[in-house]
């Protein structure tokens, strides 16, 4: 593993903004490798630059921090992302990431994971897909489900904002029925795709539908999902990160929107296969979660 | 199953002795076998210490793909699986290669186009994977017939493109392909093309070295971009702010990268010259005034036409292009010196090779270039069709 994932050129160090220096000093895994980071360390650590590319108040930025803080082994984790708002954040974190094409994230991740297992049979290497609902539910659905069918040992996280946000607000498969968006001028004609249920029936051993309103809950799900993917098989998290811009909310209203949806379209759903449950029980006994 | 950890300094994980490409291609004793193109590709990959392969069925490459799967089952290939479709497969190949694996896949015709977005992405990420393209017609209407129109679509993907005429060339080329693609100063994907059915399904005599020797393994840490394996800092390309931002630096970044990919293809020339023993191969009469510029099995048909024309006292020569990307412009120009008529026989409707030849010879050569004969849709190209084209040209109105 490489512990100098993020290094500032010494020649430029004196002109670098503090947040970039923080990203090297407080998010570099070598500093904390002996004491695994967790959600509790969020106030003192740096997962994502403040000057990231997302809109002010975007819940996705918060959700990404929760996800990164929960990675069990960040120095040996590859995140594969896809075209969309999620992909804009990745240049602003200190982690190995791959952006390939729109929708092929689970296929690329499958190749990476299989080769890492082949090249490093004695090292735990985690591969995590992190993409939006357009990439996961629409253009990339085939590749997402097929990776579940094939029992790839990867975790797929969908940041579901129920819209193609980065392209300007078009309906996606995850949009609620009846919602008016661009390209759905009379309202969306079919129901929101229940991706978490598809994940369960397609072979995932751990599938969750939730919002990003509660950091600890997100972190727990991420850690459990990655551990299960490492040992048992594919896992899936569907996390509501509303596009406040496209649904007409102010920068400070994202959290409230997520809390409202905790009881509605994103009411808690959790499936854990019997073998995953057994494994998680063992992890708990060993203090891994 | 095989384990990578079984590899030693002298032997790969399947127990084959590691040898240089030069030894494997030029020095190792060979024995005669009688095999189809698909079978011989298996034999080639067996000697390549391949880490990964992903497959998907499409005629006529299915047999080659499943034979590579058999190699995996026999312990010669590290990891192998069937993808969901060609777009998925080429994406999985990208993942495998980015993670540091010597990776091979095969496809044909419509599968090539289904996967199309991946090929410039392969070259843009500088992965040295190999696609063995067994060319076939493009729909619609539905066809499984031989045709090489699809190569036209591949020309500007930033990948190297080599073209094998027959089963023997397929064997040698597909081994050399990994070696050249993996050179640190090249390091771009390579597409080795054969005409589907004509080569994939044809059984020919082929000279093969023993199967207990194989290429040295791929070392991803010699790559110009580090592999995505968390062992080294990640490739800057995959981490830096996206070049879709609208500013001058973004434009310049993207532009310079495109030029760099194409420069990398150009830098493959000396290696290709060495391992292929020249980017072109010439047969026929040195003092001929008629030349056929060809690639693939059209070369074979042109040679047959050359033999028949010799009987009529008409001197011709066949200039076979082994590499299409990089295009052997200098070699072609030298080869057509003194030529008055150039014919470009092709197995496709658009005449992509004729366009390439015209582009490279424009204003540099006085010869009259004839784009033909040209067959498509799986039609065969009998030598008579080539002879008729020549006779019509040199003896107008009287035909052959």
What is the pLDDT at residue B227? 92
Asked if A104's CB is within 8 angstroms of B87's CB, the reply is yes
∠ CA A69-A286-B5, rounded to 5°:
80
- List, for residues A32-67, the tens digit of each pLDDT value: 555 656 888 888 888 999 888 899 999 999 999 999
Phi, psi for B190 (deg, rounded to 5): -130, 135
Q: Which residues of A222-243 are buried (b: 16+ CB within 10 A; e: fewer)?
A: bbbbbbbbbbbbbbbbbbbbbb
Length of chain A: 289
A230 touches chain B (CB under 8 A): no
Residue A30 pLDDT greater than 70, yes or no: no
pLDDT at A36: 58
Answer whether B52 sits within 8 Å of A111, measured CB to CB.
yes
| Chain B residues inside the 8 Å CB shell of A2 | 230-233
The confidence score (pLDDT) of residue B56 equals 98
* DSSP bridge partners of A129: A80, A156
Whether residues B88 and A100 touch (CB distance < 8 A) is answered with no
Report d(CA A92, CA A82) in Å as an integer.
15
Residue B244 confidence (pLDDT)? 66
Cβ of A90 within 8 Å of Cβ of B232? The answer is no
Residue B252's pLDDT is 86
Determine whether the interchain pair A121/B5 forms a contact, defined as Cβ–Cβ distance below 8 Å.
Answer: yes
- A4 phi/psi in degrees, rounded to 5: -100, 55
| A274 Cβ under 8 Å from any chain B Cβ | no
A160 and B CB contact within 8 Å: no
- Rounded average pLDDT per 10-residue block, chain B, 400 residues: 92 98 98 98 98 98 97 97 98 97 98 98 96 96 95 98 98 98 98 97 97 98 91 69 71 90 98 98 97 98 98 97 98 98 97 98 96 95 96 76
Residues of chain A with pLDDT > 90, as a percent, come to 78
- The answer to whether B78 contacts A118, with C-beta atoms less than 8 Å apart, is yes
What per-residue confidence (pLDDT) applies to A24?
A: 85
Q: Which of B35, B18, B22 is nearest to B207 (CA)?
A: B35
DSSP state at residue B286: T
Q: How far is C-alpha B246 from the chain's CA centre?
A: 36
What DSSP string describes B146-170? ---THHHHHTTSS-EEEE--SHHHH
Strand partners, B55: B82
Subunit contact A107:B239, Cβ cutoff 8 A: no
Inter-chain touch B83–A100, beta carbons under 8 Å: no
Q: Between chains, do A116 and B234 touch, taking CB under 8 Å as contact?
A: no
> Which chain A residues touch B4 with a CB distance below 8 Å?
118-119, 121
SS3 for chain A, per residue? CCCCCCCCCHHHHHHCCHHHHHHHHHHCHHHHCCCCCCHHHHHHCCCCCCCCCCCCCCHHHHHHHHHHHHCCCHHHEEEEECCCHHHHHHHHCCCEEEECCCCCHHHHHHHHHHHHHHHCCCCCCEEEEEEEHHHHHHHCHHHHHHHHHCCCCCEEEEEECCCECCCCCECCCCCCCCCCEECECCCCCCCCCCHHHHHHHCCCCEEEEEECCCHHHHHHHHHHHHHHHHHCCCEEEEEECCCCCCCCCCCCCHHHHHHHHCCCCCCCEEEECHHHHHHHHHHHHCCCC
Question: Nearest residue on chain A to B80, judged by CA atoms?
Answer: A114
Task: Say if residue A31's pLDDT is above 70.
Answer: no
pLDDT at B398: 65
CB pairs under 8 A between A and B: 135
Query: Residue B268 and residue B276: Cα distance in Å, rounded?
Result: 12
DSSP state of B222: G
Question: Which residues make Cβ contacts (< 8 Å) with residue B329, sequence separation at least 6?
Answer: B360
Measured between CB atoms, does A104 come within 8 Å of chain B? yes
pLDDT at position A16 is: 93
Say whether A107 and B91 touch across the interface (CB within 8 A): yes
Q: Is the peptide bond before B141 cis (omega within 30 degrees of 0)?
A: yes
With an 8 Å Cβ cutoff, are A111 and B233 in contact?
Answer: no
Closest CA to B295 of B156, B105, B161, B131: B161
From A149, A144, A184, A183, select the one nearest A160 (Cα to Cα): A144
pLDDT at A87: 85
Q: How far is it, in rounded angstroms, from Cα A6 to Cα A27?
A: 9
Of B83, B91, B101, the CB nearest to A118: B101
Q: Alpha-carbon Rg of chain B, whole angstroms?
A: 21
- pLDDT attached to residue A1: 66
Contact with chain B for residue A55, Cβ under 8 A: no
The DSSP 8-state label assigned to residue B393 in this structure reads H
What's the pLDDT at B2? 86
pLDDT for res B251: 85
Nearest CB to B233: which of A5, A117, A150? A5
Nearest-10 crossing angle of helices B86-98, A141-149 = 70
Nearest-angstrom CA–CA distance, A54 and A166: 9
User: Considering only CB atoms, which chain B residues are within 8 Å of A104?
Assistant: 87-88, 91, 94, 118
Minimal CA separation from A237 to chain B, in Å: 22
pLDDT over threshold 90, residue A165: yes
The CA–CA distances, whole Å, from B85 to A2, B88, B90, B121, B153 equal 34, 5, 9, 17, 19
In the three-class reduction of DSSP (H, G, I as helix; E, B as strand; rest coil), residue B96 is classed as helix
Bridge partners (DSSP) listed for residue A78? A96, A127
Interface probe for B, chosen from A7, A86, A115 (most Cβ of B below 10 Å), is: A115
Per-residue model confidence (pLDDT) at position B240: 59
Helices (H) then strands (E): counts for chain B:
14, 16
pTM for the full predicted model: 0.96
Measure CA B13 to chain center.
27
Q: Alpha-carbon torsion A142, A143, A145, A150, what sign?
A: positive
CB-CB under 8 Å, A118 with B230: no
Which of B90, B122, B229, B250 is the mutation pick for testing A, counting most A CBs within 10 A? B229
Averaged pLDDT score across all residues of chain A? 93
Model confidence at A4: pLDDT above 90: no
Instruction: Determine the pLDDT at residue A33.
Output: 54
């Amino acid at each position: 593993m490489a512990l100098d994932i993020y290094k500032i050129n010494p020649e430029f160090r004196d002109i670098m903004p503090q947040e970039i220096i923080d990203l090297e000093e407080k998010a570099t895994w070598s500093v904390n490798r002996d004491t695994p980071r967790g959600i509790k360390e969020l106030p003192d650590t740096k997962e994502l630059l403040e000057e990231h590319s997302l809109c002010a108040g975007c819940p996705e930025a918060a959700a990404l921090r929760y996800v990164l803080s929960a990675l069990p082994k960040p120095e040996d984790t590859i995140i594969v992302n896809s075209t969309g708002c999620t992909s804009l954040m990745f240049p602003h974190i200190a982690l190995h990431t791959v952006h390939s094409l729109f929708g092929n994230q689970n296929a690329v991740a499958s190749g990476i994971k299989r080769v890492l297992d082949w090249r490093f049979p004695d090292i735990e290497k985690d591969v995590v897909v992190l993409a939006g609902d357009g990439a996961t539910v629409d253009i990339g659905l085939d590749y997402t489900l097929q990776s579940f069918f094939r029992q790839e040992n990867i975790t797929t996280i969908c940041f579901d904002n129920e819209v193609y946000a980065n392209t300007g607000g078009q309906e996606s498969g995850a949009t609620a029925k009846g919602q008016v968006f661009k390209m759905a001028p009379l309202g969306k004609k079919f129901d929101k795709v229940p991706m978490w249920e598809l994940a369960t029936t397609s072979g995932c051993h751990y599938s969750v539908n939730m919002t990003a309103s509660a950091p600890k809950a997100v972190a727990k799900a991420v850690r459990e999902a990655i551990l299960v993917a490492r040992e048992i098989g594919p896992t899936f998290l569907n996390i509501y990160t509303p596009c406040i811009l496209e649904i007409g909310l102010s920068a400070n209203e994202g959290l409230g929107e997520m809390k409202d949806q905790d009881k509605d379209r994103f009411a808690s759903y959790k499936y854990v296969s019997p073998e995953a449950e057994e494994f998680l029980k063992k992890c708990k006994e060993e203090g891994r979660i | 199953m095989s384990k990578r950890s079984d590899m030693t300094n002298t032997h790969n994980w399947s127990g084959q002795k590691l040898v240089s490409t030069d030894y494997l291609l030029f020095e190792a004793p060979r024995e005669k076998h009688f095999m189809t193109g698909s079978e011989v590709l298996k034999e080639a990959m067996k000697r390549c210490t391949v880490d990964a392969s992903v497959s998907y069925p499409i005629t006529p490459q299915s047999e080659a793909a499943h034979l590579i799967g058999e190699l995996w089952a026999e312990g010669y290939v590290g990891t192998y699986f069937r993808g969901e479709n060609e777009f998925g497969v080429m994406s999985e190949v990208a993942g495998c290669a980015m993670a540091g694996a010597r990776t091979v896949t095969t496809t044909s015709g419509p599968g090539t186009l289904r996967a199309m977005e991946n090929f410039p992405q392969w070259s843009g990420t500088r992965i040295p994977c190999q696609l063995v393209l067994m060319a076939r017609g493009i729909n619609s209407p539905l066809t499984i017939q031989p045709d090489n129109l699809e190569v036209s679509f591949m020309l500007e993907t930033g990948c190297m493109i080599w073209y094998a005429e027959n089963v023997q060339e397929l064997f040698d080329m597909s081994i050399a392909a990994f070696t050249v693609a993996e050179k640190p100063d090249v390091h771009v994907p390579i597409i080795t093309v054969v005409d589907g059915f004509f080569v994939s399904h044809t059984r020919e005599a082929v000279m093969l070295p023993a199967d207990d020797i194989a290429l040295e393994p791929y070392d991803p840490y010699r790559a110009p971009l580090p592999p995505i394996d968390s062992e080294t800092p990640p490739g800057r390309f995959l981490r830096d702010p996206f070049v879709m931002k609208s500013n001058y630096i973004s434009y310049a970044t993207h532009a310079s990268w495109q030029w760099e990919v194409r420069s990398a293809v150009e830098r493959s020339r000396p290696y290709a010259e060495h391992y292929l023993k020249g980017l072109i191969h010439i047969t026929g009469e040195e003092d001929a005034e008629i030349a056929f510029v060809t690639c693939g099995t059209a070369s074979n048909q042109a040679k047959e036409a050359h033999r028949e024309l010799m009987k009529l006292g008409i001197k011709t020569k066949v200039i076979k292009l082994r590499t299409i990307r990089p295009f052997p412009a200098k070699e072609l120009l030298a080869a057509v010196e003194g030529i008055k008529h150039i014919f470009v026989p092709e197995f496709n409707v658009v005449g992509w090779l004729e366009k390439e030849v015209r582009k490279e010879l424009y204003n540099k050569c006085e010869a009259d270039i004839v784009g033909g004969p040209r067959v498509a849709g799986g039609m065969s190209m009998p030598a008579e069709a080539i002879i008729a084209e020549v006779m019509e040209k040199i003896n107008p109105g009287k035909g052959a």
